[in-house]
């Protein structure tokens, strides 16, 4: 099978942060981002219209990622890259301040349950990210079928003082031409467009930009039996939490811990390995785990070492 169409996919974990987009695209085009591009119709149509821009699309669904790349490839577009990541995290961590001209999101899930609030884009953190990475005059457009969601996003953005409202419309016509939009309008329903531009700059803290290296902890002695007692235990850090989901004994003196971390709603799944060495034990992030080196991931390696080493 010819897999050339998969060449639009980049793995940011393999680069140092923030990403050098000019090097990745090999051109100095302006940057535009779509979060949650689904099957990619909107991303592809924008990239065809605006050849002087480089487009970065974020998705959390692998199926969508593959489907969209087939579309990009069939149009022979060179100005798109796609990333499998939570777009809120990616927008904050992969881009420098004042570097993105346009950000779009079409029909994001509104996560209506209160307990899912931190999954929405309508939170303070996302608004602060936009006020950092957008250029002055740069724009953010949301199109949604959920009126309260559009209003919540408008209010959060305007409360930062960094944005000016350019448009807040109710539509009964196609605006972006995506599958969700067609489905919604065909049922005779309305959509809502929110369009703002950035008028004042504020920076935001990045979690992966610190110099603090990923720890490899060497222990002269360790009580590996303690590892099995960690399954299900939640550890708190000032930036979030992690939980040890499962502990696997792979071999004599070799353990793998399945981990989940959560930082401000950004979840990662990864493994920590604990291995016997000639003169002790080594605790480290498993090299096959494509985790971002966030404070909680680093903390989890140190914490596991502390628990078994004490």
Chain positions contacting ligand SAM, by CB under 6 A: 35-38, 58-61, 64, 86-88, 106-109, 178-181
Nearer to ligand SAM, 64 or 294 (CB): 64
Cβ proximity to ligand SAM: between 95 and 255 the closer is: 95
| Closest separation in Å from C-beta 225 to ligand SAM | 39
Residue closer to ligand SAM (CB basis): 89 or 270: 89
> Minimum distance between the CB of residue 306 and ligand SAM, rounded to whole angstroms?
32
What is the nearest approach in angstroms of ligand SAM to the Cβ of residue 176? 7
Looking at beta carbons only, is 38 or 138 nearer to ligand SAM?
A: 38
In terms of Cβ atoms closer than 10 Å to its own Cβ (0-12, 13-18, 19+), residue 105 is buried
Q: Minimal distance in Å, beta carbon 180 to ligand SAM? A: 4
CB of 156 to ligand SAM, least distance (A): 16
Nearest distance from C-beta of residue 75 to ligand SAM, angstroms: 17
Of residues 67 and 78, the one with the C-beta less far from ligand SAM: 67
- Cα-only R_g, the chain: 22
Cα→Cα distances 41→53, 58, 64, 80, 226, Å: 17, 14, 11, 12, 51
Cβ 214 to ligand SAM shortest distance, Å = 24
Are 184 and 128 in contact by the 8 Å Cβ rule? The answer is: no
With b for 16 or more beta-carbon neighbours within 10 A and e for fewer, the 134-161 pattern comes to bbeebbbbbbbbbeebbebbbebbeeee
**How close are the terminal C-alpha atoms of the chain, in Å?**
52
Decide whether 61 or 135 has the Cβ nearer to ligand SAM: 61
Q: Is the CB of 62 or the CB of 233 nearer to ligand SAM?
A: 62
């Amino acid at each position: 099978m010819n897999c050339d169409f998969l060449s639009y996919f980049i793995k940011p974990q393999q680069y140092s942060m923030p990403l050098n987009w000019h090097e990745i695209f090999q051109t100095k085009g302006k940057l535009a981002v779509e979060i949650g591009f689904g099957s990619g119709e909107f991303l592809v149509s924008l990239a065809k219209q605006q050849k002087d821009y480089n487009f970065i699309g974020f998705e959390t669904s692998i199926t969508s990622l593959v489907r969209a790349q087939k579309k990009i490839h069939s149009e022979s577009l060179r100005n798109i890259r796609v990333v499998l990541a939570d777009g809120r995290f990616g927008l904050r961590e992969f881009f420098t301040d004042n570097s993105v001209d346009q950000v779009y999101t079409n029909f994001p899930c509104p996560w209506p349950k209160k307990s899912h609030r931190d999954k929405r884009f309508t939170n303070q953190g996302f608004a602060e990210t936009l006020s950092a990475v957008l250029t002055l005059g740069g724009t953010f457009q949301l199109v949604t079928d959920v009126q309260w969601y559009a209003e919540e996003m408008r209010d959060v953005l305007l409360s930062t003082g960094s944005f000016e409202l350019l448009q807040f419309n109710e539509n009964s016509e196609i605006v972006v031409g995506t599958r969700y939009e067609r489905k919604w309008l065909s049922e005779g329903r309305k959509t809502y467009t929110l369009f703002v531009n950035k008028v004042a700059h504020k920076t935001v803290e990045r979690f992966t930009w610190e110099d603090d290296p990923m720890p490899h902890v060497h222990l002269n002695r360790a009580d590996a039996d303690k590892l099995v007692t960690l399954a299900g235990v939640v550890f708190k850090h000032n930036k979030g939490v992690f939980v040890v989901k499962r502990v696997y004994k792979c071999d004599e003196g070799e353990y793998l811990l399945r981990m989940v971390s959560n930082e401000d709603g950004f979840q990662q799944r990864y493994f920590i390995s604990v291995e016997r060495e000639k003169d002790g034990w080594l605790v480290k992030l498993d090299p096959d785990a494509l985790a971002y080196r966030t404070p909680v991931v680093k903390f989890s390696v140190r914490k596991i070492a502390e628990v078994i080493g004490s």
